[in-house]
A and B are shown apart, each in its own frame.
Chain A
Amino acid sequence: DTAVSQTPKYLVTQMGNDKSIKCEQNLGHDTMYWYKQDSKKFLKIMFSYNNKELIINETVPNRFSPKSPDKAHLNLHINSLELGDSAVYFCASSQGGYRPSYEQYFGPGTRLTVT
């Protein structure tokens, strides 16, 4: 009964490959997010979708493309992977449109290692 799930949990791949990370939430939330936790441990927002519509697109290389087929899913596709993409990627969701008081529920993270 995981509220926010991500697959895969671990992903090891070579430079230049294309990979996807999937995220699903069963909380009925309208807003979903992708965060990147880099080697310095900061959690940085990458994208946010509200009702399948993109509302946040931080300064992220366009090799990263989020796709939201429906409100419950937000997938992250990464083209031409680079060494610097190695990080832990977290998906999250919250109710309604974005408000900081709306608690964000995080998935367990996907550890991506690019060799």
Chain B
Amino acid sequence: DQQVKQNSPSLSVQEGRISILNCDYTNSMFDYFLWYKKYPAEGPTFLISISSIKDKNEDGRFTVFLNKSAKHLSLHIVPSQPGDSAVYFCAASGRLDYKLSFGAGTTVTVRA
């Protein structure tokens, strides 16, 4: 039973435009959310996170938005660059958990 869902397996965007990645979760006990980025033949690397006490967190070109009532978060990348082409995983954890629950990932391709 997947508690974190990324319904778009892929996204193609032109260089310089905005990339918007979406993530939905079902567990209302989740209170911390993260995005990881993964290149081929490498492990995932941490990108950005947000606590449930916030609705937005920004780090350079990356912004994560959290809508708790809709159990939805999104990652915005502005402007998109060729080096952003990767798989992006959404992950979540609850206060009483000792683990991260991951989505299946969204493959982003940035076109020159």
The 8 Å CB contact of A43, one of B93, B97, B98, B102, is B102
| Min C-beta distance of A54 to chain B, whole Å | 11
- Number of B residues whose C-beta is below 8 Å from A? 25
Q: Which residues of B contact A41 (CB under 8 A)?
A: 87, 104-105
What mask results when residues 26 to 63 of chain B are scored 1 for a CB within 8 Å of chain A, else 0? Answer: 00000010101000011111100101000000000000
Q: Which residue of B lies closest to A6 (CB)?
A: B43
Closest to A98 in B: B98
Interface size on A, residues (CB 8 A): 23
* Beta-carbon contacts under 8 Å, A51-68 to B: 55-56, 58
A43/B89 in contact, CB under 8 A? yes
Closest CB in chain A relative to B3 CB, distance in Å = 11
Question: Is there a chain B Cβ closer than 8 Å to A21's Cβ?
Answer: no
Chain B nearest CB, measured from A7 CB (Å): 14
Please give the residue numbers on chain A whose beta carbons come within 8 Å of chain B beta carbons, in ascending order. 4, 40-45, 48, 55-56, 58, 90, 92, 98, 100-101, 103-109
Q: A4-B43, A101-B32, A108-B42 are in contact. List 16 more A-B contacts (CB 8 A).
A: A40-B104, A41-B87, A42-B2, A42-B103, A56-B99, A90-B43, A98-B99, A100-B92, A100-B93, A100-B97, A100-B100, A105-B45, A106-B44, A108-B41, A109-B41, A109-B43
